[in-house]
Chains A and B, each alone.
Chain A
Amino acid sequence: MARTLADATRRVLGSRRRGDRAAAVPGADDTDAALVADLVEAIGADRVRADAAARYLASRDASIYKEGNAGPVCYPGSTSDVVECVKVATRHARAVSPRGAGTGLAGGAAPLGQPVVLSMTRMDRLLEIDLDNGVAWVQPGMVNLDLSRALAPHGVHYAPDPSSQAACTIGGNVANNSGGPHCLAYGVTSAHVLAVEVVMSDASVVTLGDLTAEPAGYDLRGAFVGSEGMCGIATAVAVRLTRNPPAVRTMLLSFDDVSDAATTVSAIIAAGIVPAAIEMMDQRCVTAVEDFAQAGYPRDAAAVLLVEVDGPAGGVAIAGERVADIARRNQAISVRTAADDDERARLWKGRKSAFGAVANVMPDYYLHDTVVPRTRLVEVLERIYEIVDRHDLIVLNVFHAGDGNLHPILAYDSRVPGTGERVQAAGREIIEMSLDMGGALTGEHGIGVEKREYMNRMFSAVDLDQQSRLRASFDPHCRMNPGKVLPSAHSCSDIGALRASDAAGVWG
């Protein structure tokens, strides 16, 4: 047994042949070998990877943050695997960082201090569809779109639809309280999660929330959703099923002027219409998207709005007409209604691939996710273009206009010296401008590590102290995904778990 275990550990740590120096792997010292051996013994060799390549990749997500530093990477297959991993990590004074598909844009999944990384991708099953209670129990690694596809035969879907929904996981959505275009009418993840089974930092398993409308006690479920992996590891999630609307109308409104598009957004809301979604893209973004999706977006319009209304057919027709009228009154140059599901799907595919399509313009991008009062969109957009021009950068605007959730994408080439600084400076100005307008730091991407130090700009010391109490109530010893969300002065000072995390070499 001991011998097999040693063999397995050696395999997991990576081969030492051909001078693949163990020394090049930071942390893969004797301490790590013992940690890895315990992890292997707890959940099996095929569920643990500690080699340089695996750790390098587990250190990053889709953000530009590259300073993450993963310890051993585990691929648990069950709640009890997760429990075992947390126990082993605790025994070795290591923190634990969960990870879904790594599509996050704020570095929330970038592990700090060589924690044990729990990649939840293997826990990807749909556990139960309970139509009587209008819920489905799913494992956290299930991909958002796979869930809605599996629900389709029952005439229901899972409403939150982040742009990354083809790849992102439900667990990641819960961690970030993710949004998406259709959250305008349907609400964000928090409104669609009824209960969560969580492995706590002390390795106990607790179910937060239940299937009743108003569970007894504090709304721990609500406090957990959006906690970016810092309050525990979700191992099963009860999501609300939303009935498919009987009718849907998707409209593409084109404008010669960005301000006209923004004014139209405010006018639609002011008219008391709550469409399922109102998305906006400016010309540069439309061009990038159209190159990939060929959805029929007009390349010559200064801005387009993608508006969807849904519900019973009568109301959809009325609301659709009203939206079209409002657009025309605001100088829309064209109002196009998707003729069928196919056209509708292509329009949405275009919209949802916008971030990736930026690479057709520039190889790198940095984006913010601030929210501003939707009545001030015109002003805010003018300010963004002004800031970006002043810093001699390129911006693509694509965002959830209906709820004022901006995504100004600063596209750049990091290989050009000095660009990074200009991008950071412009980003800071956009954030400060948004907050000065009465806005919020992030609408759906989360704080992660990237926006951590901006928290002081939005919240007072008292506010942050209250937030850290919430976190500490769940995880008094800061063992779960440490170092995120709260600015350094408000995060755990007792971070034995947050060991010196200096990246040593490129495999850091």
Chain B
Amino acid sequence: MTEFDEALTAFAAEVGTDGPVCVRGGGTRWSLGGEVAPGTREVQAPEGIVAFEPAEMTVRVRAGTPVAGLHEELAGDGQRTALPERAGGTVGGALMAGESSIACLGLGPVRDVLLQARYVCADGRIASAGAGTVKNVSGFDLCRLLVGSLGTLGLVGEVLLRTFPVGETERWVRLAGTDPGAVRSCYTAASVLWDSTDVWILLSGYAVDVDDDLSRLAALGACEDVDGPPELPPHRWACTPAEAAAFDARNGAAGPFVAEIGVGVVHASQPQPFRPVESGVVELNRRFKERFDPTGRLNPGRDPLRKP
């Protein structure tokens, strides 16, 4: 058990013990899961990197720290996290939204990035979940529960994240008029995006392997270097990988889209129609909220069941 640092205790004091309260990060996904109830007090999580240990491949960082700034710091040692970079987006915001980077295929999902969380509970006390190591199964897995919870169970102040070495070579390429399934033979593909005609691929790894995959792609069709991924339409659809790969045929209502092949997320022009959730799951969500935040003061109005 550790003493919590000043920034964290100050954050807890600010959150206090009663009254509705919400945390503002970069505001990039502010409306996810519903608008915050009117009259809710707004607080901000502390900011700053506490400790980066490249040889441990972990970084301890405060939740209010912008992801881009964090990654800049980590890049000095050739590392990064699996968190997505959005203009102004914070570490805490990315974790609470729970939406993975478009390079999820290579980096893994956001839900696996959180090793330890120090957060303010509904009663204003600070709890610590997880451990300071890269592996841990001591007790129940509150870290997994917190990711994607939109700050409705606890307000995260400081976290320990897993980091990864950045690939020796990273290249975005575009392949015109290809079946995205054919691209899956590329082992170094960290992202495969498909808009029903073209395929964008992020190759990441040792140069020699990336070159191998490039020649594999070139055999499939016209392949050109591009600066990055295509512009993503604003609405995020939750699909299975099979649904994403067959997206075009089934969803005229989505408008122009970009599908993450092998992952399942589809970025569409129109919002996703409601996907029914089984009643047992709804009931469990209700029980979790009730147990962790009996008075409903944490981020009132938000509900992870209403994502995306």
Using CB atoms and an 8 Å cutoff, list the residues of chain A in contact with chain B: 130, 132-134, 176-177, 179, 183, 187-188, 190-191, 200, 204-208, 210-223, 225-227, 243, 245-246, 266, 269-270, 272-274, 311-315, 318-319, 371-375, 400, 403-405, 438-447, 451, 455, 457-460, 462-467, 469-474, 476, 485-486
Contacts of B39 in A (CB 8 A): none
Instruction: Report B-chain residues with C-beta under 8 Å of the C-beta of A469.
Output: 291-292
Query: Which chain A residues lie closer than 8 Å to B164 at the CB level?
Result: 274
Residues of B within 8 A of A463 (CB): 127-129
CB atoms of B109 and A213 under 8 A apart: yes
| Complex contact B264–A314 (CB within 8 A) | no
Contact with A along B230-249 (1 / 0, CB 8 A): 00000000111110010000
A440 touches B132 (CB 8 A): yes
Give the A-B contact count at a CB cut-off of 8 A: 265
Which residues from 45 to 90 on chain B have a C-beta closer than 8 Å to any C-beta of chain A? 53-57, 78-79
Would you give the shortest CB distance from B230 to chain A, in whole angstroms? 19
**Residue contact B165 to A274, C-beta cutoff 8 Å:** yes
| B interface residues, Cβ below 8 angstroms from A | 1, 53-57, 78-79, 98-100, 104, 108-109, 111-112, 121, 125-129, 131-145, 147-149, 153-154, 164-165, 187-188, 205-206, 208-209, 211-213, 238-242, 245, 260, 262-265, 275, 277-278, 280-282, 284-285, 287-288, 290-292, 304-308
User: Are A222 and B281 neighbours in the complex by a CB distance under 8 Å?
Assistant: no
Contact pick for B265, options A214, A245, A313, CB 8 Å? A214
A400–B137 alpha-carbon span in the complex (Å): 15
Residues of chain B within 8 A (CB-CB) of A243 are 187
Evaluate contact between B133 and A440: CB separation under 8 angstroms.
yes
A218's partner among B262, B278, B304, B306 (CB-CB below 8 A) is B304
Query: A445 vs B135: C-alpha distance in the bound complex, in angstroms?
Result: 11
Q: Within the complex, what minimum Cβ distance (angstroms) separates B19 from chain A?
A: 20
Candidates A216, A218, A438; contact of B238 at CB < 8 Å = A216
A294 to chain B, nearest CB (A): 31
Taking the nearest CB of chain B, how far is it from the CB of A314, in angstroms? 3
| Chain B: CB-nearest residue to A405 | B135
A371-B135, A403-B134 given as contacts; is B291 within 8 A of A473 (CB)?
yes
Asked whether A458 and B1 contact (CB < 8 A) given A212-B264, A311-B187, the answer is yes
Q: Which residues of B contact A220 (CB under 8 A)?
A: 145, 281, 284-285, 288
- Take A133-B241, A177-B137, A226-B140 as given contacts and tell me if A216 and B307 are in contact as well, using a CB distance cutoff of 8 Å: yes
Q: How far is the CA of A371 from the CA of B132 in the complex (A)?
A: 9
Contact B131 A440 (CB under 8 A): yes
Q: Indicate if the CB atoms of A447 and B112 lie closer than 8 Å.
A: no
Complex alpha-carbon distance, A273 and B1, angstroms: 31
B137/A439 in contact, CB under 8 A: no
A466 CA to B156 CA in the complex, in Å? 14
State whether A447 touches B136 (Cβ < 8 A): no
A214-B148, A269-B57 given; A467·B139 CB < 8 A: yes
A325 to B285 alpha-carbon distance, docked (Å)? 52
Residue of B56, B121, B149, B284 near A206 (CB, 8 A) is B284
Chain A residues, CB < 8 A from B112 = 187, 190-191
Given contacts A212-B264, A272-B78, contact A462 B121 (CB under 8 A): yes
Determine the chain A residues whose CB is within 8 A of the CB of B208 once the complex forms: 314-315, 318
Q: A312-B188, A459-B139 are in contact. Are A214 and B281 (CB under 8 A)?
A: no
Q: CB-CB < 8 A to A274: which residues of B? A: 57, 164-165
| Chain A neighbourhood of B98, CB < 8 A | 214, 219
Contact B144 A225 (CB under 8 A): yes
Inter-chain CA distance A311–B147, complex, in Å, is 29
13 of the cross-chain contacts (CB-CB < 8 Å) are A133-B264, A177-B137, A218-B153, A219-B149, A220-B145, A222-B141, A315-B208, A375-B53, A375-B55, A440-B136, A441-B138, A458-B138, A473-B287
10 other contacts beyond A219-B148, A315-B206, A404-B134, with CB at 8 A cut-off?
A177-B141, A191-B108, A216-B277, A243-B187, A405-B135, A441-B136, A441-B138, A458-B1, A459-B138, A460-B128
Q: Once the chains are docked, how many angstroms separate the CA of A459 from the CA of B2? A: 9
Is the Cβ of B137 less than 8 Å from the Cβ of A442? Answer: yes
Assess whether A470 is in contact with B145, with CB atoms less than 8 Å apart.
yes
Other-chain residue from A216, A458, A466 in contact with B306 (beta carbon distance below 8 A): A216
Residue pair B135, A403 in contact (C-beta under 8 Å): yes
Residues of B within 8 A of A374 (CB): 55-56, 134
Partner of B278, one of A206, A246, A464: A206
Does A217 lie within 8 Å of B263, measured CB to CB?
Answer: no
- State in angstroms the CA–CA spacing of A404 and B154 once bound together: 29
* Cα distance, A225 to B142, chains bound together (Å): 11
